[in-house]
Amino acid sequence: MADPRGDPGAPTEGVPAMTDTSPGEARETSGATTGGLLRYVRSVAGEDAVGRVLERAGVPYTAGQLENQAIWWSYETRIRLFEAATEVVGDPRLMFRVGAAAMQTGLAHSIVILLRAMGTPRQVFRQLPRAVAKFSTTSTMEIVESGATSATIRFTLHPGFEHSWLDCIYAQGLLTTVPTVFGLPAAEIEHDECESDGAPSCLYRLTWDRRNRFPGRRRDRRAQNLELTALRGQLRTLQSASTELVGSDDVDTALERIIARAAEAVLAPAYLLAVEGPAGGAPLVHSAGLDPAEVPELAAALLAGEDLGPHAVAVEVASARRSHGRLAAIYPTSEGVMGDEAALLAAYAGHAAAALDLIIALEGARQEADRAGALLSLAHELSAATDSCAVTAVVSEALPRIVGCTSAGLLMWDAASGSLQTHSSVGLSDEGADLLQMTMLRAEDVPELVGMLTDREPRIISSATSSPALQELLRGIGTEDVVAVPLLADTTFLGVATAGWGAGEAPRTLDGDVLARLRGVGDQAATALQKARLLTTVRHQATHDALTGLPNRTLFLERLESALPDAAEGAHLGVLFCDLNQFKQVNDTLGHAAGDELLRQVSARLRAAVRPADTVGRLSGDEFAIILPGLVDPGDARSLADRVSGCFAESFRLDGIEVTVGTSVGVTVHDPASDGTAEQLLREADAAMYRHKEGGRGTVRAGA
Least confident span in 37-46, 164-173, 345-354: 345-354
Q: Which candidate, 702, 669, 638, 665, places its Cα nearest to that of 575?
A: 669
Percent of the chain with pLDDT over 90: 38
Is the pLDDT confidence value at 80 over 80?
yes
Helix boundaries (H) for 439-579 = 447-455, 468-477, 513-543, 553-563
DSSP 224-247: HHHHHHHHHHHHHHHHHHHHHHHT
For 73, the enclosing helix (H) or strand (E) is strand 72-73
Q: What value does the mean pLDDT take over residues 563-569?
A: 89
pLDDT tier at 9, thresholds 50, 70, 90: very low
Q: Which candidate, 188, 166, 189, 38, places its Cα nearest to that of 102?
A: 38
Q: What value does the mean pLDDT take over residues 291-301?
A: 87
Q: What value does the mean pLDDT take over residues 346-367?
A: 68
Is the pLDDT confidence value at 170 over 60?
yes
**Range among 337-351, 428-442, 519-533 rated most confident:** 428-442
pLDDT at 263: 66
pLDDT tier at 10, thresholds 50, 70, 90: very low
Is the pLDDT confidence value at 425 over 50?
yes
Does residue 630 sit in helix, strand or coil? strand
Q: Note the pLDDT tens digit of each residue in 136-156.
A: 889 988 999 988 899 999 999
pLDDT tier at 504, thresholds 50, 70, 90: confident
Is the pLDDT confidence value at 603 over 90?
yes
Helix boundaries (H) for 548-677 = 553-563, 583-590, 592-609, 635-646
pLDDT tier at 4, thresholds 50, 70, 90: very low
Q: What value does the mean pLDDT take over residues 387-393?
A: 87
CATH 3.90.1520.10 boundaries in the chain: 29-213
User: For residues 448-476, b (16+ Cβ closer than 10 Å) or e, as one string?
Assistant: bbeebeeeeebbbbebeebeebbeebbee
pLDDT at 520: 85
Percent of the chain with pLDDT over 70: 80
Is the pLDDT confidence value at 90 over 90?
yes
CB 482 within 8 A of CB 436: no
Q: Which candidate, 130, 111, 121, places its Cα nearest to that of 186?
A: 121
Is the pLDDT confidence value at 7 over 50?
no
CATH 3.30.450.40 boundaries in the chain: 237-362, 385-540
pLDDT tier at 5, thresholds 50, 70, 90: very low
Is the pLDDT confidence value at 529 over 60?
yes
Q: Which candidate, 347, 346, 325, 355, places its Cα nearest to that of 253?
A: 355
Q: What value does the mean pLDDT take over residues 189-213?
A: 88
Does residue 354 sit in helix, strand or coil? helix
pLDDT at 299: 87
pLDDT at 119: 58
**29-213 has which fold?**
H-NOX domain (3.90.1520)
Is the pLDDT confidence value at 226 over 50?
no
Is the pLDDT confidence value at 389 over 50?
yes
Distance CA 581, CA 594 (A): 15
Distance CA 642, CA 627 (A): 15
pLDDT at 547: 93
Is the pLDDT confidence value at 304 over 80?
yes
For 47, the enclosing helix (H) or strand (E) is helix 47-57
Question: Average pLDDT over the chain, rounded to whole?
Answer: 81
pLDDT at 667: 93
pLDDT at 665: 92
What CATH superfamily classification does 553-702 receive? Reverse transcriptase/Diguanylate cyclase domain (3.30.70.270)
Distance CA 129, CA 145 (A): 13
Is the pLDDT confidence value at 41 over 80?
yes
Does residue 607 sit in helix, strand or coil? helix
CATH 3.30.70.270 boundaries in the chain: 553-702
Least confident span in 119-133, 309-323, 536-550, 595-609: 119-133
Is the pLDDT confidence value at 327 over 50?
yes
Q: Domain 237-362: state its class.
A: alpha beta
Is the pLDDT confidence value at 611 over 80?
yes
For 424, the enclosing helix (H) or strand (E) is strand 419-426
Q: What value does the mean pLDDT take over residues 262-287?
A: 75
pLDDT at 505: 81
pLDDT at 62: 92
pLDDT tier at 20, thresholds 50, 70, 90: very low
Residues comprising the chain, all counted: 704
Q: Note the pLDDT tens digit of each residue in 637-691.
A: 999 999 999 989 899 999 889 999 989 999 999 988 888 899 999 999 999 998 8
In sequence order, the 6+-apart residues with CB closer than 8 A to the CB of 298 are: 272, 287, 290, 308
Distance CA 86, CA 164 (A): 13
626 exposed, middle or buried (CB, 10 Å; 0-12, 13-18, 19+)? buried
pLDDT at 259: 67
Residue type, 413: W
- Supply the CATH classification number for the domain 385-540: 3.30.450.40
Q: 441 pairs with which residues across the strands?
A: 420
Does residue 210 sit in helix, strand or coil? coil
In sequence order, the 6+-apart residues with CB closer than 8 A to the CB of 90 are: none
DSSP 297-313: HHHHHHHTT----TTEE
pLDDT tier at 704, thresholds 50, 70, 90: very low
pLDDT tier at 216, thresholds 50, 70, 90: very low
Distance CA 431, CA 436 (A): 9
pLDDT at 333: 67
Is the pLDDT confidence value at 235 over 90?
no
Does residue 144 sit in helix, strand or coil? strand
